[in-house]
């Protein structure tokens, strides 16, 4: 037993059944797909929660028996500094945190002020002195241990994420998988970070050292709270940096568990700290003179503000922003796969995914057949309690966001789009879910490129279908957007597939699939969707700096 768990959970008789991955399974992306579950979400199944109880009690006392929807309250502090949960030194305004599935308040979190932000940064600075002096192999070992603990505690973390975010437990498990995989991947790279040796005339030489930046700030969005934190912490820590992370005020819970796991794994106390709050806390972080880098995931308007603040301190930034990505379905596609691809491109996490392919361009020849099939499958999606195993769509993040998505659908109708299915609020039969933030996934037909629903990021389960006639035309229309995060193409013609993705102005492209995110592949946007990359070897560049050392072996040549 290594911690006071943050959850004080009321006991209930009917706990949801829990499944776990096969121990040692590499990743769910490549796993077989039992029960028709998409391979990227598939898990091998274990029996019920009862079999896991001894281990769950050990790692998370109080969480094990009954982490069911509608029962959890959070009582422990959600700030983390110098290796422990703390109350913020100057916590001001309280933010209510909701359980999207029920609309209940899970806790009220004090927003960290300037003093708490400074304490967190100072704590990170102190730990940086130790961590940055360790060898890559030493850092690798600690990070592997953190990955191992996450893998071991995957079920509890996934439950926490589902309760705070509203996404289905099936998806939350896949998120936790990509989280520990990310730490494992960068642990692997930590030991091989190196510079170059360059021979110069007269026996002189130079060499380069890849050095960490210092204290890095991570600011996260609410749609993938734990995963976003790992995608930033992985490369940052591998390079020898320390981090202060601020999650979205809507989803403050799971990242504190990550901080505890890092401490349990053996990082110096203070290496990974968490501050809580919204705009003001984020600003204190970005403006802090001892912060060396900002990595931000969120909306385009906030990204612009972050960049302005970073510019004043000449701080490098990584911006992972929004999108309105095209998915192009040619008539020679495997129709079954194309339909599945469109569903995966639009409905994960209730459609609240930055890289979603929400503009679905369909070659006119197959428009009717494709649309009919997509609508049929969309109508069958099981909405409801996100902790139930058979739920495929949970609740949106909060009431204002649900209203915003509904507003987009209303406006789409006013502008001439046709609602082919869904788009209305969904009220589950279960009384405890009556105040949750549910809606039916929506397919819009009769869409035109200049409609708001086609131009703006809706960030909800809303797919717009747009017919096209030629390759040239569709590429031009696909690129006619300020965003450039992702894009996809379905076709059996291999030359056409590569030609089209080469022409797409987007950072993450898919051929005959959509929304896979293996940690080995860089992820990030073009244009207003941001710059810098997460995942893959290249992320090392964004969390390190190169020092050149020039060595003279003879006498100094002096012109004076
Ligand atoms: N490209 C990606 O990898 C990626 C991933 C997930 C989400 N997103 C995008 O995130 C958006 C949804 O997330 P959101 O609603 O949380 O975004 P948001 O921009 O409202 O907030 C993101 C984070 O920034 C903080 N913040 C807000 N104003 C700030 C300021 N002035 N200074 C510093 N910090 C500030 C918020 O508290 C939050 O932690 C969507 O546009 C989505 O596409 C992008
Ligand atoms: C894991 N996905 C589905 C590729 C989402 C990445 C993060 C975007 O919001």
Q: Which of 432, 351, 348 is nearest to 173 (CA)?
A: 348
What pLDDT score was predicted for residue 92?
Answer: 79
In this structure, which ligand is nearest to the CA of 349? 2
Asked if residue 52 has pLDDT above 50, the reply is no
Asked if residue 39 has pLDDT above 70, the reply is no
169-190 helix and 225-238 helix, angle to the nearest 10 degrees: 0
| Gap from CA of 458 to ligand 1 centroid (Å) | 14
Asked if residue 1 has pLDDT above 60, the reply is no
In a 13 Å sphere around the CA of 369, the CA atoms on its Cβ side amount to 13
Which residues neighbour 345 within 8 Å (Cβ) at sequence distance 6 or greater? 325, 327, 356, 357, 358, 360, 463, 488, 514, 515
- Ligand 1, closest atom to CA 248? 39
Residues with catalytic roles: 320
**Alpha carbon of 410 to those of 6, 305, 415, 435: distances in Å?**
40, 30, 9, 22
**DSSP per-residue letters across 152-171:** HTHHHHHHHHHHHH---HHH
- Ligand 1, closest atom to CA 305? 31
Question: Coil, helix or strand for 351?
Answer: helix
- The DSSP code for 268 is P
- Ligand 1, closest atom to CA 534? 3
Q: Which of 493, 385, 380 is nearest to 167 (CA)?
A: 385
| Gap from CA of 61 to ligand 2 centroid (Å) | 31
Query: What is the per-residue pLDDT across 224-261, written as a single tens digit (0 to 9) for each?
Result: 999 999 999 999 999 999 999 999 999 999 999 999 99
Q: Tokens at residue 237, please?
A: 């820590």
| Phi-psi group of 524: left, alpha or beta (phi > 0 → left; psi -120 to 50 → alpha; rest → beta) | left
**DSSP per-residue letters across 435-446:** TS--B--EEEES
Query: What is the per-residue pLDDT across 296-310, written as a single tens digit (0 to 9) for each?
Result: 999 999 999 999 999
Q: b or e along 197-207 (b: 16 or more beta carbons within 10 Å of the residue's beta carbon)?
A: eeeeeeeeeee
Residue 67: pLDDT band (50, 70, 90) is confident
Which strands sit side by side in the sheet containing 544-551, from one edge to the other? 197-199, 205-212, 544-551
Asked if residue 4 has pLDDT above 90, the reply is no
Contact 289, 322 (CB under 8 A): no
| Domains of the chain listed by start with CATH number | 4-320 (3.40.605.10), 326-518 (3.40.309.10)
Q: Which of 149, 125, 147, 118 is nearest to 268 (CA)?
A: 125
Which residues neighbour 384 within 8 Å (Cβ) at sequence distance 6 or greater? 391, 393, 394, 428, 430, 433, 438
What pLDDT score was predicted for residue 40?
Answer: 62
pTM value is: 0.91
d(CA 421, CA 429): 20
Which residues neighbour 112 within 8 Å (Cβ) at sequence distance 6 or greater? 79, 88, 90, 91, 120, 246, 275, 276, 277, 281, 284
Q: What ipTM describes this predicted complex?
A: 0.96
Residue 322 beta carbon below 6 angstroms from any ligand 1 atom: yes
Query: What is the per-residue pLDDT across 167-195, written as a single tens digit (0 to 9) for each?
Result: 999 999 999 999 999 999 999 999 999 99
């Amino acid at each position: 037993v290594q911690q006071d768990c943050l959850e004080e959970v009321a006991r209930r008789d009917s706990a949801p059944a829990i499944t776990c991955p096969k121990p040692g399974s590499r990743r769910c992306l490549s796993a077989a797909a039992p029960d028709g579950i998409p391979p990227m979400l598939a898990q091998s199944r274990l029996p019920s929660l009862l079999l896991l109880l001894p281990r769950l009690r050990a790692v998370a006392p109080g969480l094990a028996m009954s982490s069911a929807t509608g029962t959890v309250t959070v009582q422990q502090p959600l700030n983390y500094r110098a290796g422990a949960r703390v109350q913020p030194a100057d916590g001001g305004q309280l933010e209510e945190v909701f359980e999207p599935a029920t609309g209940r308040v899970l806790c009220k979190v004090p927003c960290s002020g300037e003093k708490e932000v400074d304490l967190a940064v100072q704590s990170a600075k102190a730990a940086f002195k130790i961590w940055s002096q360790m060898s890559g192999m030493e850092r690798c070992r600690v990070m592997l241990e953190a990955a191992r603990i996450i893998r071991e505690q995957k079920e509890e973390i996934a439950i926490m994420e589902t309760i705070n975010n509203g996404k289905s437990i099936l998806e939350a498990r896949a998120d936790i998988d990509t989280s520990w995989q990310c730490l494992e991947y960068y642990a692997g790279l930590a030991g091989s970070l190196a510079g170059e040796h360059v021979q110069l005339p007269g026996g002189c030489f130079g060499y380069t050292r890849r050095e960490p930046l210092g204290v890095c700030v991570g600011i996260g969005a609410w749609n993938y709270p734990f995963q976003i934190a790992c995608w930033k912490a992985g490369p940052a820590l591998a390079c020898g940096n320390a981090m202060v992370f601020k999650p979205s005020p809507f989803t403050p819970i799971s990242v504190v568990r990550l901080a505890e796991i890092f401490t349990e794994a053996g990082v110096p106390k203070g290496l990974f700290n968490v501050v809580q709050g919204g705009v003001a806390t984020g600003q204190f972080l970005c403006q802090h003179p001892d912060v060396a880098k900002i990595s931000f995931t969120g909306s385009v308007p906030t990204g612009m503000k972050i960049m302005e603040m970073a510019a004043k301190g000449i701080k490098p930034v990584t911006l992972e922003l929004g999108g309105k990505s095209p998915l192009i379905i040619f008539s020679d596609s495997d129709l079954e796969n194309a339909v599945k691809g469109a569903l995966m491109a639009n409905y994960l996490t209730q459609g609240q995914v930055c890289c979603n392919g929400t503009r679905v361009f369909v070659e006119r020849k197959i428009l009717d057949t494709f649309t009919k099939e997509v609508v049929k499958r969309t109508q069958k999606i099981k909405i409801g309690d996100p902790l139930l195993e058979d739920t495929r769509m949970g609740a949106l993040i909060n009431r204002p966001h649900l209203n915003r998505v509904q507003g987009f659908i209303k406006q789409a109708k006013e502008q001439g789009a046709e609602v082919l299915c869904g788009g209305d609020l969904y009220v589950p039969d279960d009384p405890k879910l009556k105040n949750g933030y549910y809606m039916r996934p929506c397919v819009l037909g009769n869409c035109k490129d200049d409609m708001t629903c086609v131009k703006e990021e809706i960030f909800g389960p809303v797919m717009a279908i747009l017919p096209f006639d030629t390759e040239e035309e569709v590429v031009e229309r696909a690129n006619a957007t300020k965003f450039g995060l992702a894009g996809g193409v379905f076709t059996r013609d291999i030359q056409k597939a590569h030609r089209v993705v080469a022409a797409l102005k987007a950072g993450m492209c898919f051929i005959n699939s959509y929304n896979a995110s293996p940690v080995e592949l860089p992820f990030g946007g073009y244009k207003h969707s941001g710059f810098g990359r997460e995942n893959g070897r290249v992320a090392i560049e964004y969390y390190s700096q190169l020092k050149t050392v020039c060595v003279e072996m003879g006498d100094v040549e002096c012109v004076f």
